[in-house]
Structures are given as structure tokens and as C-alpha cells.
Structure 1
């Protein structure tokens, strides 16, 4: 019986050893799987955090860009408003020109236009009162190659004048002259007003 007991004890001890080995192997495998899973989860978390940070950074840059564009638009609107005000004031001043200055303006315009023959002078409504018969004669003396006649109709709500010879019209209205030089003047005025 002692042999049977020893045999039983040996079988039990072997089973216990085998059980411990299997248990240890299982424990090692479980720990290995846990480390692998933890590593995968940490990597996923890191990737997600990086992606989230990238998205938030892109969103932030878009917001900053939007704010920059809005502020730039406000500055441009302010500049445009100032320019419009300056051109409006310039037009108003031109429309308030003195008779002698208007006569000089017409004389210079006719001379620069280099017109000859019969030429009709169409005055703007706001300037018509500035040119008298006497001043027209003085202008005529400076350009003997041209015969100026004042048109009966006037240009409504305009200052300045037109020179008309047949189908050809040369526009010397204040609006047209300001519009023609607006781009160049705008650039110069902006530099003077907003030195950046």
C-alpha cells in the first residue's frame, strides 16, 4: 500500500507540477496578451489624440484666418469709405469753382484738346453760370483755329463741360475727370492716408 500511496503522491505531485506549469504558461500568455492589448490601446489613444490635436489646430488656423480676413475687409472698407469721402469732397470743391478758375479750366481744356473748326461747348448745369459772353470771347482769342459756340442745352446735374465737334465728344465734366484719375489718385491717397 505504501507503493500505491507513493504512486498516488507522485501522480498528484506530477499533476500539481503540470498544473503549475500550465498555470504559469497561461499566466505568462495572459500577461503577454495584456501588454500587447495595452500597447495597442495606448497607440490608438496616441493616434486619436494626435488626430484630434491636428483637427483642432486646423480648426484654430481656419478661425484665425477668418478673423484676419474679416479685419482686412474692415480696413479695406474703411479705406474705401475715406476715398469715397475724399472724391466726393473733391467733386464738391470743383463744382464750387470761381468764374475765373473755370474760364482758365475751359481755356486749358480746349487748348489741350487741339480742336479746330466749329466746336460746340456744352456746359454742365452746375458750371453754366460761370461762363459769360465776355469770358467766352477771351477763350476764343486764345484758340483762333477754333470757333466755339455755347450749346443751348446743359448737362444735367454735372459740373464742367463737353466739347462736341460732329460725332466726336471730349468729356471734361468733373465727374469724368475724377473717374479717369480715380485709380491713380486712389493709390496715392491711400499711401498718404494709411502709411503702412
Structure 2
């Protein structure tokens, strides 16, 4: 065999190896690209699913927060309406005609099982009906043991009765506060049902 034949055989073999290597490289490249595409699609799918879940979760949290805020606002409005109802009741007590108010206070003092005491009123009631009240109570009880205090209290109406170490608070605010807890649910039912 001549050198030319050997050279030609080497070149031929090299070309075959090259073609095979190129074909193998192209095949491997296509496999790698195919796998990369599949992995990329899977990543995109997972990312899309995660984004959808995150979006749904965020939406759910936002809706829950909005619902909670709405419930708080409704509760606040209901509480305000209930408070206005009690404020209106207080206003009705304050605007009682003088004769009815005097009679009311007299009856409330007589109901208390104390034989004597000092009656404390707000400044307006003291000036307007204080002496009349003491006179009415003492006449009804046939005694002279009730006196009008020189001091006044800061209240919209009603009285304090002091007898020794005992102090009975029968002011409008105290009366309304004492029944407020019991009546709040009834007032709420009347207003909102």
C-alpha cells in the first residue's frame, strides 16, 4: 500500500469519524435542547401554578380583610345607633316637665329605705326645685330629716343621697349605665331585626 493510499484511507477514516462525531454531537445537542425545552416548560408550568396559587391566596386574604373591615364598620354603626338610643333616653329624662320630674325624684327618694339624709343635686336642679324636693320628701315621710346639700354634682339629672357612710347614686347616668348591659341586646334586636 502506498502512502497515498494510506493518506487517503486516513483522510477517509477521519471524514467518517468526523461525520459520526458531528452526527453524534448534533444528536446529543438535540437531546439536550429537547430536555431543556421540557424542563423549561415544566418550570414555566410550575411557576404559573405557583403564581396562580399566590394570586388566589392574596385575593383570599384581601377579601377576608375587606370582610373583616366591613364587619367592624357595621358593628361600629350598630354600637353608635345603640349609644344614640341611650342618649335619646337620657335626653327624654332631662326634658321631663318640672312637676313630673319633682314627683319622680320624690318617689325615688321615698323608695330608698333610709330614714334621713342629705340630697345632692346638679346646680340647675338645686336652684330650680331643690327646696321643693326637700319639702315634698319630708312631707310625704312626715319627717324633717332630709336636707338639701350646699354642694352640687356634675350630672344631667337625678340625685345623690348621703346618709352617714352610705351614698346612693341615683343620677340619670348611673341609672342608664346600670341597665345598659341588660338592655343593649334588646335595643340591638329592636333596631336591627
TM-score normalised to the size of structure 1?
A: 0.76
Matched, 1:97 2:103: no
Call closer, same or farther: CA 1:109–1:67 in 2, change over 3 Å: farther
Q: Tell me the equivalent position of 1:66.
A: 65
Q: Which residue of 2 aligns with 1:30?
A: 29
Partners of 2:38 and 2:123 in 1: how far apart? 87
- Give 1:16 shift: 4.6
Deviation at 1:134, TM superposition (A): 5.0
Residue 36 of structure 1: how far off its partner (Å): 1.6
1:123–1:160 CA contact under 8 A, matched in 2: yes
When structure 1 is superposed on structure 2, of 59-68 and 128-137 the one drifting more is 128-137
Q: Give the drift of 1:137.
A: 3.4
* Unmatched runs of 5 consecutive residues or more in structure 2: none
Q: Which runs of 5+ in 1 are unaligned?
A: none
Shift of 1:25: 2.0
Instruction: Say whether 1:137 aligns with 2:138.
Output: yes
Distance 1:109 1:183 in 2: 24
- CA distance in structure 1 between the partners assigned to 2:23 and 2:106 by the alignment: 112
Q: What residue in structure 1 maps to residue 189 of structure 2?
A: 191
RMSD over aligned Cα atoms:
3.1
Structure 2 matches for 1:1-196, cutoff 5 A?
14-98=13-97, 99-100=99-100, 102-108=102-108, 110-111=110-111, 113-116=112-115, 118-128=116-126, 129-130=128-129, 132=132, 134-141=135-142, 147-195=145-193
Q: Tell me the secondary structure at the aligned position of residue 153 of structure 1.
A: strand
Relative to structure 1, is the Cα distance of residues 9 and 110 closer, same or farther in structure 2, using a 3 angstrom cutoff? farther
Alignment TM-score, normalising by the size of structure 2: 0.77
How far did 1:165 drift?
1.2
